[in-house]
Amino acid sequence: PERPHVGLADGFLESAGRDCYSLEAQTIFFMIDLKPDSVLTVKFSGLLKLPVFNQGERGCLAVAEVAKQIPFPLKRFYVISGVQSVSLVRGGHAHKSFQQAIFVLAGSFDLLLDDGEQKQNFRLSDPSLGLVLGPGLWHELKNISPDAVILVVSDSWFDEGDYLRDYAAFIAWQTKVDD
């Protein structure tokens, strides 16, 4: 089946203060110097920029709405926290049809995205920025800080049959799908 390219979601920044995470104050760092308005070169992905509202002493509020900042309907979410060592790797798989978006709510981590042809590494440390993980995109979470809280939202219920957990099988599947 043909997989659409996932582009930049409709997001904006409003009234971010110096003490809030903001697109001006934080960017996603990776091998190429990505700016918040850059287009990702890895296929099946997209940058999500959430609106951030500075509420003074009450802190900052980052908001995501389905069909606005999140480009797919939500059926499931999960939270990763309490990773005991920065040497542990999470993820290490791709999905055949699932779409997901990933955010860091606290702490930081590195995210490797691999579409079978090219790879990009990102450093996520800003809760107002996330990445779409589209179908056919291998991903690995590395260098997860001990205080990291990672949120993943998905358009599908859990289904083990949608996972590609072996990298060689992922590459073979990519070749078959692209033919």
Compute the distance between CA of residue 129 and CA of residue 165 in angstroms, rounded to an integer: 26
Compute the distance between CA of residue 73 and CA of residue 66 in angstroms, rounded to an integer: 6
Phi (first) and psi of residue 138, to 5 degrees = -70, 140
139 catalytic? Reply is no
SS3 173: helix
Compute the distance between CA of residue 111 and CA of residue 123 in angstroms, rounded to an integer: 6
Task: Count other Cβ atoms within 10 Å, centred on residue 146.
Answer: 11
CA 36 to chain centre: 14
Q: Checking DSSP bridges between strand 29-30 and strand 119-124, what pairing results, if any?
A: antiparallel
Contacts of 127 (CB under 8 A, 6+ apart): 21, 50, 62, 103, 104, 105, 106
Question: Which amino acid belongs to residue 58?
Answer: R
Q: Kind and range of the H or E element at 176?
A: helix 167-178
**Catalytic residue numbers?**
93
